[in-house]
Amino acid sequence: MKKVYLVPNRCLGCEECIEACSKEHGDTSRNYVLWIDQVYPVQLRCSHCEDAPCMRICPVEAIKRNEHGAVVIDESLCIGCGYCALVCPFGIPKFAETTKKVVKCDMCSDRLKEGEVPVCVRNCPTMALQFGEIGELEDERRKRLAKKVLAVGTYLREIITLQEA
């Protein structure tokens, strides 16, 4: 299943993901950027967990997994009890004062239907947010590392060859 993942060392904490999210949904953002020790930004968003605690605890079964694998809240069913927010290990679901319902990331399912990526991913200027299968992203990471290892190997071979000559 494709999801949004964070490459932490790329995040500048510019909060463009937050701005893009609130514009896309016409209300408050569904993700967060927290600053640790004033210096280190950490972006948090719904992980659309495989075994989602929010889905399990919702007393009215308003939280379901949609065709894209996103864990979404059906606002027409939500009673605003906030249990999902309490059990979420990332503290993502947010109580909206205006509607008295809980809102959370739906992985921009409308955009996914159009074949686009979630808006936070599109707008992230440093590509710290990546959309894909975890396996694919890990593969890419391994390929990048393999290229570095190869470069080191080539460098060492050149040094050794020079010494032998």
Partner 1 sequence: MIVTLRKLSYDDLKAQLKKDDKIVIWSCNNCVKFCNGFGGRQAMASLKEKLEKDGYNVIHTELIGLSCVLDLVHLRAIEEPTKTIFEEATVIIPLACEDGYENLKYVFKKKRIIDVPLTVGLGVFSTEFGALRLTVPFENTGLEKKIEGIPLEEVAKKLNAHAGPF
Which one among 9, 38, 76, 163 touches partner 1, defined by CB under 8 A?
A: 38
Which one among 8, 80, 91, 125 touches partner 1, defined by CB under 8 A?
A: 125
> How big is the chain, counted in residues?
165
Nearer to partner 1, 55 or 124 (CB): 124
Dihedral over alpha carbons 30, 77, 58, 103 (to 10 degrees): 10
By CB under 8 A, residue 8 contacts partner 1: no
Nearer to partner 1, 22 or 47 (CB): 22
In whole angstroms, what is the distance from residue 129 CA to residue 16 CA?
11
By CB under 8 A, residue 44 contacts partner 1: no
Which DSSP symbol is given to 40?
A: E
For CA atoms 82, 78, 57, 67, the dihedral sign is negative
By CB under 8 A, residue 153 contacts partner 1: no
Positions that interact with partner 1 (CB under 8 A): 12-17, 19, 23, 26, 37-39, 123-125
